[in-house]
């Protein structure tokens, strides 16, 4: 509890948004940012229909907005707030609580999903501190999602069984709107190909970092300094604090179902991608050749430890060598060697340095200098061949195959 209190003091979080204290046996708090939502009841009902193992749960919804929002958006948010309170009186039980607060006048400079998640997660941390529960679980969900009936049980089981502070939860976009169908299939295929290629080449940071499908225990949350306030990509930056330290796991035995809607909420992500695809922009993805070029380096980490990268120059792409030079690779490797006593320690530090952020920089560098992006169809032909799975002529069938394949934690 000491670490949690230190974090809360640093954030100057000394009181709750609510007068009602949590039940002393509260195990999970699900937090949901809500902005411009016109059907949030469906998400809440899905959660309240879940089975729970033991103890109590709370669902906290933050209806948020910017002071610069239009009157139309403010009206939608007000209606959501009223709708939630009407729902609250109908569905609350002794073990399942719904808490709602709002702020529709956040400074436009800060308003966004990052600040909303942070305020919610800090509130959850404070509420767990009230009942001295340092093992309490904070789960993030979005207001357009449905969840499987065993969702809460599976999350609780994960944290009971594994010594991890964070988790990524299996997700499958709902394919509801016939006009969005091809777009969401293309986009999710891109996501699963991207993570699948990382797994194929044994990169240890191959996780789906989806804000609506992640959880963390409160002690871990406070240990990394809480959530950031980025307006997009906040989930990626937050989860990789755990991933790079081998402190994040996957939950495959339940599913979060995000919607396939178009969204203008953030500059990238599902909603933005779907809108772009519907507008006629082709779905492209990273060239498999960029991953193959990198694999020549990644597969030789033991050689680099024993000798140096110099002996690999003849087998590495010139563009990869240029990229490594730009990030002062040799200098960093020598520093890691000086500060590690064995190969296992070196390998751990190596991938803390060459992490998911470096991977993204590398892929963009290669895209700009050698291997242009390719169509998702071309990428899938390569990937399916490598995983020894027969590719289908129907894209949706290929997505269903990859969803199942993703559950094989290999």
Between CA 342 and CA 358 the distance in angstroms is: 24
Mean pLDDT for all residues in the chain? 93
Give residue 267's pLDDT: 41
Distance of CA 79 to the CA centre of its chain: 29
Give residue 183's pLDDT: 85
Q: Diameter of the chain by CA atoms?
A: 69
Q: Is the pLDDT of residue 269 over 70?
A: no
Give residue 257's pLDDT: 97
The 248-257 sheet, strands edge to edge: 96-106, 56-66, 26-34, 137-140, 214-217, 166-171, 248-257, 146-147
Q: What is the pTM of this model?
A: 0.93
Q: Which residue ranges form the domains of the chain, and what is each CATH number? A: 2-180+208-282 (3.90.550.10), 288-369 (no CATH)
Closest CA to 63 of 93, 90, 85: 85
Q: Is the pLDDT of residue 153 over 70?
A: yes
Can you tell me the mean pLDDT for 179-199?
90
Give residue 410's pLDDT: 42
Can you tell me the mean pLDDT for 280-297?
89
Can you tell me the mean pLDDT for 217-227?
98
Q: Which residues of 188-222 are buried (b: 16+ CB within 10 A; e: fewer)?
A: bbbbbbbbbbbbbeebbbbbbbbbbbbbbbbbbbb
Can you tell me the mean pLDDT for 242-255?
96
State how beta strands 166-171 and 248-257 pair. parallel
Give residue 265's pLDDT: 46
């Amino acid at each position: 509890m000491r670490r949690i209190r230190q974090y809360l003091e640093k954030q100057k979080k000394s009181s709750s948004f609510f007068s009602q204290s949590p039940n002393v046996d509260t195990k999970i708090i699900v937090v949901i940012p809500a902005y411009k939502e016109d059907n949030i009841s469906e998400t809440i009902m899905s959660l309240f229909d879940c089975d729970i193992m033991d103890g109590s749960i709370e669902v906290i919804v933050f209806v948020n907005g910017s002071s610069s929002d239009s009157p139309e958006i403010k009206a939608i948010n007000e209606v959501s707030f009223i709708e939630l309170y009407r729902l609250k009186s109908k569905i609350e039980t002794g073990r399942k609580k719904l808490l709602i607060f709002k702020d529709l006048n956040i400074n436009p400079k800060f308003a966004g999903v990052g600040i909303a998640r942070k305020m919610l997660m800090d509130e959850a941390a404070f509420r767990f501190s009230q009942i001295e529960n340092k093992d309490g679980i904070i789960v993030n969900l979005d207001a357009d999602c449905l969840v499987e009936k065993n969702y809460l049980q599976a999350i609780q089981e994960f944290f009971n069984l594994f010594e991890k502070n964070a988790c990524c939860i299996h997700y499958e976009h709902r394919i509801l709107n016939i006009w969005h169908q091809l777009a969401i299939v293309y986009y999710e295929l891109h996501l699963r190909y991207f993570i699948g290629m990382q797994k194929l080449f044994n990169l240890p940071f191959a996780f789906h970092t989806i804000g609506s499908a992640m959880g963390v225990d409160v002690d871990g949350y406070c240990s990394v300094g809480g959530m950031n306030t980025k307006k997009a990509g906040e989930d990626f930056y937050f989860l990789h604090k755990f991933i790079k330290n081998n402190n994040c796991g996957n939950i495959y035995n339940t599913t979060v179902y995000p919607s396939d809607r178009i969204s203008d909420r953030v500059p990238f992500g599902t909603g933005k991608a779907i809108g772009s695809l519907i507008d006629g922009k082709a779905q492209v993805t990273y060239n498999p050749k960029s991953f193959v070029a990198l694999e020549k380096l990644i597969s030789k980490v033991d050689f680099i430890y024993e000798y140096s990268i110099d002996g690999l120059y003849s087998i590495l792409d010139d563009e990869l060598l240029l990229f490594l030079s730009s990030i002062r690779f040799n200098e960093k490797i020598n520093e890691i060697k000086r500060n590690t006593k064995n190969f296992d320690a070196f390998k751990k530090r190596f991938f803390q340095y060459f992490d998911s952020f470096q991977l993204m920089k590398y892929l963009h560098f290669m895209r700009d200098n050698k291997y242009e992006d390719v169509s998702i169809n071309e990428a899938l032909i390569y990937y399916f061949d490598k995983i020894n799975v027969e590719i289908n002529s129907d894209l949706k069938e290929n997505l269903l195959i990859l969803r199942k394949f993703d559950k094989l934690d290999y």
